[in-house]
Amino acid sequence: MAADRRVVITDCNHADVSQERGILRDAHVDLERADCHTEEDVIREGAGATVLISQYAPVTARVFEALPSLRLVVRYGAGVDNVDVDAATRHGVWVANVPDYCTEEVADHAIQLMLCLLRGIVRLDRSVHYGRWNYEDGQPLRRLRTLVLGVVGCGRIGTLQRHAQERFRCA
């Protein structure tokens, strides 16, 4: 396989990369999966790569200096907090992400956490773990139908929370 066709998945917490393999197969790309945790791991495993796909592994200025063939870093996730974007820019490396990654799950989870707080679930759980059960530990309990839930946010997650509220609305 040509050196300009090497893609390395530095790390990911999903067990199967068959979707990535399927997408890249027709492009005749050599896809390798590594288990990187440090910038040294990324430098070693990414040697000769044109593209890195990273979830949590640090892609730092040292990585860009050590991997001159690198042209693109793709981040599994909505942010790019583990990628030194300024260093990437200085080295002429493009940085991309997956902006829709888990937005629906995060929106749903935020609503679930709000409901847990409103119903005293965390306080009651802690009470049980400390060996007692007293319904008053969850006070004040409010009837959800008497409350109005507002979401402040116009981005993907705030918008999805609004839609989730509409999905859960009872007549």
User: Could you read off the pLDDT of 140-164 as tens digits, one per residue?
Assistant: 888 888 888 776 777 777 776 655 5
Band of the pLDDT at 1, cuts 50, 70, 90? very low
- The count of domains in the chain is 2
What pLDDT does residue 152 have?
A: 72
Band of the pLDDT at 103, cuts 50, 70, 90? confident
Q: Are residues 118 and 75 located together in one domain of the fold?
A: no
What pLDDT does residue 169 have?
A: 53
What pLDDT does residue 145 have?
A: 86
Selection from 64, 59, 48, 55 nearest residue 5 by Cα: 48
**pLDDT tens, position by position, 29-68:** 999 999 999 999 999 999 999 999 999 999 999 999 999 9
Q: Are residues 11 and 70 located together in one domain of the fold?
A: yes
Selection from 23, 34, 32, 28 nearest residue 2 by Cα: 28
Q: Which of 69, 97, 125 is the last residue of a domain?
A: 97
Cα distance between residue 47 and residue 97, in whole Å: 22
Which phi and psi angles does 54 have, rounded to 5°? Answer: -130, 145
Selection from 49, 48, 106, 59 nearest residue 81 by Cα: 59
Domain that holds residue 46: 3-97
Cα distance between residue 75 and residue 149, in whole Å: 33
Q: Which of 58, 82, 97 is the last residue of a domain?
A: 97
Q: Are residues 12 and 89 located together in one domain of the fold?
A: yes
Q: Are residues 127 and 162 located together in one domain of the fold?
A: yes
Q: Are residues 55 and 17 located together in one domain of the fold?
A: yes
